[in-house]
Amino acid sequence: MTDQLTTGAPASQPTNATPTAPNPDPAATPAPASSAPAPAADPAADAALQSFREQLAGGDAAMMKQLERYKSADDISKAFREGYKNAKNGGKLVELTDRSTPEEVKAYREANGIPDDATKYPGDFRDGFEVTDADKAILSDFKAAMHERNVPPKVAAAALDWYQDFAATQAQDLNAQLAKVAGETQKSLRAEWGGDYDGQIGAAQELMKAHLGEDGFGQMMGLRLMDGSRLQDSLPFVKMMATIGADYYGSTAILTGDIEAAGKTLEAQKQDLLALRVSDPEKFKSDDVQGKLTKIYAQLEKVSARK
């Protein structure tokens, strides 16, 4: 007679698996891994974006559906800019790059009116603009640079217009400065020199003409300084040249601009003073007359030494 289990439960089937010990702490069993939760939605931001979409769509269901593809206002703005750019250029090449082929460059030039020959690149100064030699050189270099960079002539023309406006304004400002400095210098020198003004200026002019010649003198006096004024209106320069000229020729107030004439004038003054020995001996002996004679003799020696 076979033994039977008293519990009535079926007997366990044999297994080859390695038995595991029971886990006394179910809480220690790690939970199965799960994907990271999606970031929490911002109802206020979503509502604002949806309102923005609705305003742009203006009741157009198809447009609204298109706008719902973009998840932020920045995405919508970027899409708008790209669409505008493509529509404006109508599929044409927007700009050339370092990788553009000769065919692409040629097509771009034809589309924008850029000639293949750099010397035929359009552009000139407008009527009424006072063109200097420097302006002519600038225009030549400017057109060559615009052609080399494949700049459309209309764009270059706008830049050239700006240059002419700038140059005209600058010339007006410099001329105004010239007149201002010239007036201030003359006023200052007349106040300082008084009746000797013409003689001082004559001494400076005669000295420079003697060494530079008429043409050289004119060119030097016409030199413009950084502030727009002329060299001939520089107060320190004029005073320096007048001092040197007076010392060189020995005269200031009586100088007429010619060495020989200056010498005769000095000689005449000397004779007038010497005549006082007979007509007015007391005056002739005065310190004033003797001082003038001493100065005239010194000046005559300088004039004689320069001949």
DSSP assignment of 74-129 equals HHHHHHHHHHHHHHHHTT------TT--HHHHHHHHHHHT--SSGGG----PPTT-
Structurally, how many domains does the chain consist of?
1
Token pair listed for 64: 């609204």
Residue 300 structural domain? 258-307
Domain annotation covers residue 19: no
Q: How far is CA 126 from CA 113, 119, 142, 161, in A?
A: 20, 19, 15, 8
Domain annotation covers residue 304: yes
pTM of the model: 0.46
Say which residue, 267 or 62, is predicted with more confidence: 62
Domain annotation covers residue 161: no
Domain annotation covers residue 164: no
Taking residues 134-156, what's their average pLDDT? 93
Distance between CA atoms of residues 75 and 73, nearest Å: 5
Please report the pLDDT score of residue 85 as a whole number. Answer: 57
Domain annotation covers residue 72: no
Confidence of residue 87 (pLDDT cuts 50, 70, 90): low
**pLDDT > 70 fraction of the chain, expressed in percent and rounded:** 75
Distance between CA atoms of residues 158 and 164, nearest Å: 10
Domain annotation covers residue 218: no
Classify residue 34 by its DSSP letter. Answer: -
- Residue 274 CB partners (closer than 8 Å, separation 6+): 284, 293
Classify residue 230 by its DSSP letter. Answer: B
Instruction: Inform me whether the pLDDT recorded for 186 exceeds 90.
Output: yes
Please report the pLDDT score of residue 188 as a whole number. Answer: 95
Distance between CA atoms of residues 22 and 231, nearest Å: 109
Classify residue 25 by its DSSP letter. Answer: -
Please report the pLDDT score of residue 250 as a whole number. Answer: 60
Domain annotation covers residue 269: yes
Please report the pLDDT score of residue 53 as a whole number. Answer: 86
Please report the pLDDT score of residue 114 as a whole number. Answer: 93
Most confident of 4-18, 70-84, 179-193: 179-193
